[in-house]
Amino acid sequence: MSRCAAAVLSLGILFQLSHGLEVNVTKDGKLCLYANLMINFSVSYEGKDNKTHTATFELPPTANPDDSKCDETASTLTLKFGEGHSWSMDFSKKDAFYQADNVTFTYNLSDSTTFPNSASNETRNVTAKPQITEVVQDTCYSCRSTDTIEAPMVNMTLWNVLMQAFVINGSKSGTISPCDADKSTTSAPPTTHATNATTVAPTTNGTTPAPIPTTTPTPTLPTPSDGTYMLKADENSTACLLANFGLRIRFEQGGQFQEMNLEPNLTKASGFCGVNSSELVLESAAMTINFTFTNDTKKFHLHALNVTAKTGSGEFTDVNTNMSVWEAAVGSSYMCNKEQNYTITKQLTLYTFNLRVQPFGVKKGGFSTAEDCLGDAESFLVPIAVGVALLVLILIVLLAYFIGRRRNMATGYESF
């Protein structure tokens, strides 16, 4: 086993090594938390030109760890940098294991160097759950492979990670607990900044390709019930966002594929309506789905989707912040009556039924004229083609009848 190399430093001393950013946190003069990691950030934000921009940047070597802390059963690594930005990871200990519970990223949109031409001066926070679980105590967690932690509008890509929470007796362990990705493959650090996930185009009445499950997948569920969801700016106003659909998710957890239908009668709708960005959050006991819509003043589309599902084996969370589906003109609605499925990530697929949404420009509390999806447009082509063919056939029969009758009349005159 390799050893976690580096000298023990007092709290707050931070320096850049060739293999990452190293932090040593101490308590009562003894090392209690160690971290060596590299992080790339990718943040989507709205610009003053009413367009969505993406800022990509790295965790700098000047990050300040002074707010990091260690306790018996809970520790936090906090790194502050730039003009009001910070990144933190919370750890907890239970029995013979420790894990990372949450990652919180705070970014200040008024930082014009990092977010040029930003339309907002807000400081925003996003929280996500990393996949660092059940690390054996008195071992160093190691992951050379890239690991992207996704949150609404934000991707955080970590690699070359080496860390130990709850260091025993002030000395880092010589034992390594590798991540699953390192166990299955040898990967190199990325050569570019973090990028967002790629949205795969929807397919109609087809099956989304997916890895072969190691166990038998959950049987197909019945078609989900349609639900109608509405947001208002306040209690006295009319609707500012409308949505109607049946919805199902299919996801992979622990090597198994599971399916869940969204139950409209057990679902609460919340969110907000903005000028260029609107969000619809649907929450039930079994799942929470966050839809983020954006527009460029002419057209709107679904830009991000964040899904959390609760199962008997734990909580599943996945997100895609770089989508471009359900597009229609601002002031109209998007409609797709046919069943559609969308590959959101490798682990998550979204199914929609009788879909109609309008996140902007709602008037008089009802849907505006709808723009149909390609699937619906294709469904109209078949009856139109059949109708045209029948009309042509009728014209041919009529033409043949009149020609035949005219010839018979001419033959009658000649015989007389």
SS3 string of 349-380?
EEEEEEEEEECCCCECCECCCEEECHHHHHHH
d(CA 98, CA 72): 11
Q: Which residues of 376-388 are buried (b: 16+ CB within 10 A; e: fewer)?
A: beeeeeeeeeeee
229: left (phi over 0), alpha (psi -120 to 50) or beta: beta
Distances (CA, A) of 360 to 235, 240, 241, 333: 18, 7, 6, 9
- Assess contact for 209 and 341: CB atoms under 8 A: no
pLDDT in tens, 262-289: 999 999 999 999 889 999 999 998 999 9
Give phi and psi for 400, each to the nearest 5. Answer: -65, -40
Centre a 10 Å sphere on the Cβ of residue 112 and count the other Cβ atoms it contains: 11
Angle CA 324–220–337, to nearest 5: 45
Non-local (6+) Cβ contacts of 232 within 8 A are 238, 239, 240
Q: Is 255 helix (H, G, I), strand (E, B) or coil?
A: coil
pLDDT tens for the chain, residues 1 to 416: 334 433 333 333 333 333 468 899 999 999 999 999 989 898 999 999 888 888 888 898 889 999 999 998 999 999 999 999 999 999 999 989 999 999 999 999 999 999 999 999 999 999 998 989 999 999 999 888 888 888 888 989 888 899 999 998 888 888 888 888 877 544 344 433 333 333 344 444 443 333 333 333 444 578 999 999 999 988 778 899 999 999 999 999 888 889 999 999 999 999 999 889 999 999 998 999 999 999 998 999 999 999 999 887 788 999 998 899 999 999 999 999 989 999 999 999 999 999 999 999 999 889 999 998 864 444 444 456 667 777 878 888 888 777 877 776 666 555 54
